[in-house]
Chain A
Amino acid sequence: MASKKDEKIEYVKNGKRLDGRKVDELRPLKIEVGVLDNADGSAYLEWGQNKVIAGVFGPKEALPKHTQDPYKARVKFIYRMACFSVPDRKNPRPARREIEISKVCSEALERAVFIERFPNSSIDVFVEILDSNAGSRAAALTAASVALADAGIPMRDLVASTGVGKAGGEIILDLNKAEEDAPDAVDIPIAIMPRTEEIVLLQMDGLMTKAEWKKAKELGIKGCKQVYEVQREALRKKYEAAEKPEAKKNPEAEKPKAEEKKTAAKKSEKVSK
């Protein structure tokens, strides 16, 4: 560790990062909608090495009863990492980190959902991280908001999230693990409702100047908007298929659906392990 930090790594060289990305480029992002049978809404997301599955249940009666709010619903977002999703096995007991992430992401989603329409209710969103490589909370929140839309929960807008930050003095979008481990690394998970650019999740750790933050903020918002496009496209794809019953006769259109089912089965099998 010490020797690694002493040697000088160039995190951005000729405009390219260690993994070949540009400073404002996201890792490959892929979202599938409606992958779980029992959940009211669901999504599976791959973002670089991150693999995340989200399921939504509700709105339903909030329990225990004393947690009910007669004016609004609560969004209960639970973020958990599978034991095998990190290099060293993760203790299955929920860590303080997971509890904090669950709290801030619940709050972010509560801003987007019309919670005032569902008094005394709970809208439960469960997210399981199956594989991780930095930015898993952004991946979880991005998947969760797509799953909420899939469940037909009325929302002001989708919540789109990304990581942004600094490594080797450069402001970069969507840091991977190697970049997050830079000696001067700054990590800023950010989530917005893209139509208004309202910031609904914002965290940061690391040392940065005000000027660096200004740059990171702009890059982060730009990144969230790219994520937003992928979210919308994923939703559109599912509902386009549902709108056209004649599509069933078309073997071309049926193919991706069958694949979807298969991956879903595979995912749930993984989770149950």
Chain B
Amino acid sequence: MNENVLWDLKADKVNGLAKQDKRVDQRALDEYRKIEITKNISENAEGSANVKLGLSEVVAGVKMILGEPYPDSPNKGTISVGTELLPLASEDFEVGPPRPEAIELARVVDRGIRESKTLDFKDLCIREGEKVWICFIDMYVLNNDGNLFDALGIAALSALLETKIPKVEDDKIVKGEYAGKLKLSRKPILSTFAKVGNKLFADPTLAEEKAQTARFSVSTSEDDYLCAFQKGVSGGFSGSEIDSCIEMAFKSSKEIRKQL
């Protein structure tokens, strides 16, 4: 209960400053926190990354598994994205099966990557109708200070960019040997905005998320495509606010892409 009161006070401060176009940490409204990317944090993973976005911290790891294709796409492999909000990351997170929040995070990151067509799923086919690669991207939140969407999006992409495809002999993976790297044709970046009062904040902190009335995430590519949207939280946006978010996303994603 005390914890809640504290967050209410923090949210009040965020709301008060928003009226003057200011943020608690003095950032500009469209400014991101510092991003730190550490690649290959796990030797057993085919690709992995740790991403710090301000005080938010997440890890992502890729495992390539041999599987059967879906009957409606016999010549295509696929990806599968999972997210766990580890209890060590926040007092709000609990042990147990994924809650709707974690499922939404995973599915939005999944869509950002899948729909950008950065991976040609036909490249992941080994033998049509029989053997394909399933690229599991599993992500864990280690510390939550807001904007997990973008932190996880960057982590997933960073891990994929490092991913090596295991060597296959007689339909079995040869442990420790690799046949090349995963091919990515685009670098889709997820950009998330919080609506606080009538202002739009890029890369919201947890306190800003407590003050937000609505949230909008958009995945953009370097060749000026929109790849995915997700509106969340029980408030609304005007059409022009959505357009402002999109403009800001194209700008900030360029900067983030340089750091990959």
Question: Is the Cβ of A207 less than 8 Å from the Cβ of B242?
Answer: no
Contact of A207 among B107, B227, B237 (CB under 8 A): B227
Given A100-B104, A205-B111, the answer on whether A199 and B227 have CB atoms closer than 8 Å is no
Question: Is the Cβ of A202 less than 8 Å from the Cβ of B107?
Answer: no
Question: Is the Cβ of A204 less than 8 Å from the Cβ of B74?
Answer: no
List residues of B (240-254) whose CB comes within 8 Å of A's CBs: 242-243, 246
List residues of B (207-244) whose CB comes within 8 Å of A's CBs: 216, 221, 224-239, 242-243
Question: Is the Cβ of A111 less than 8 Å from the Cβ of B228?
Answer: no
Question: Is the Cβ of A111 less than 8 Å from the Cβ of B236?
Answer: yes
Question: Is the Cβ of A103 less than 8 Å from the Cβ of B115?
Answer: no
Question: Is the Cβ of A210 less than 8 Å from the Cβ of B231?
Answer: no
Q: With the chains together, A115 CA to B235 CA distance in Å?
A: 12
Question: Is the Cβ of B225 less than 8 Å from the Cβ of A208?
Answer: yes
List residues of A (5-29) whose CB comes within 8 Å of B's CBs: none
Majority SS at the chain B contact face? mixed
Q: With the chains together, A44 CA to B228 CA distance in Å?
A: 31
Question: Is the Cβ of A202 less than 8 Å from the Cβ of B106?
Answer: no
Question: Is the Cβ of A100 less than 8 Å from the Cβ of B100?
Answer: yes
Q: With the chains together, A203 CA to B110 CA distance in Å?
A: 13
Which residues in A have their C-beta under 8 angstroms from that of B231? 104, 199-203
Q: Mark A204-231, 1 if CB is under 8 A from B, else 0.
A: 1111111001100100010000000000
Question: Is the Cβ of B236 less than 8 Å from the Cβ of A102?
Answer: no
Question: Is the Cβ of B75 less than 8 Å from the Cβ of A217?
Answer: no
Question: Is the Cβ of B234 less than 8 Å from the Cβ of A111?
Answer: yes
Q: How far is the CB of B134 from chain A (nearest CB, A)?
A: 16
Question: Is the Cβ of B236 less than 8 Å from the Cβ of A209?
Answer: no
Which residues in B have their C-beta under 8 angstroms from that of A111? 234-236
Question: Is the Cβ of B234 less than 8 Å from the Cβ of A107?
Answer: yes
The yes or no answer to A110 lying at the interface (CB within 8 A) is: yes
Which residues in A have their C-beta under 8 angstroms from that of B199? none
Which residues in B have their C-beta under 8 angstroms from that of A1? 72-75
Q: With the chains together, A213 CA to B239 CA distance in Å?
A: 11
Question: Is the Cβ of B242 less than 8 Å from the Cβ of A217?
Answer: yes
Chain A residue at smallest Cβ distance from B8: A71
Which residues in A have their C-beta under 8 angstroms from that of B229? 188, 202-205
Which residues in A have their C-beta under 8 angstroms from that of B37? none
Which residues in B have their C-beta under 8 angstroms from that of A208? 225-226
The yes or no answer to B131 lying at the interface (CB within 8 A) is: no
Which residues in B have their C-beta under 8 angstroms from that of A110? 234
Contact of B115 among A96, A102, A207, A221 (CB under 8 A): A207
Question: Is the Cβ of A102 less than 8 Å from the Cβ of B227?
Answer: no
Which residues in A have their C-beta under 8 angstroms from that of B228? 203-205
Q: Mark A90-115, 1 if CB is under 8 A from B, else 0.
A: 00000011011011101110110001
Question: Is the Cβ of B226 less than 8 Å from the Cβ of A199?
Answer: no
Given A202-B231, A203-B229, the answer on whether A103 and B100 have CB atoms closer than 8 Å is yes
Contact of A206 among B103, B224, B227, B236 (CB under 8 A): B227
Q: Mark A162-178, 1 if CB is under 8 A from B, else 0.
A: 00000000000000000
Question: Is the Cβ of B100 less than 8 Å from the Cβ of A198?
Answer: no
The yes or no answer to B10 lying at the interface (CB within 8 A) is: no
Chain A residue at smallest Cβ distance from B221: A207
26 example contacts (A-B, Cβ-Cβ < 8 A) are as follows A1-B73, A2-B75, A75-B234, A99-B103, A103-B101, A107-B233, A111-B234, A115-B234, A193-B236, A197-B239, A198-B236, A199-B237, A199-B239, A202-B231, A202-B242, A203-B229, A203-B230, A204-B229, A205-B115, A205-B228, A206-B227, A207-B116, A207-B221, A209-B224, A213-B226, A217-B242
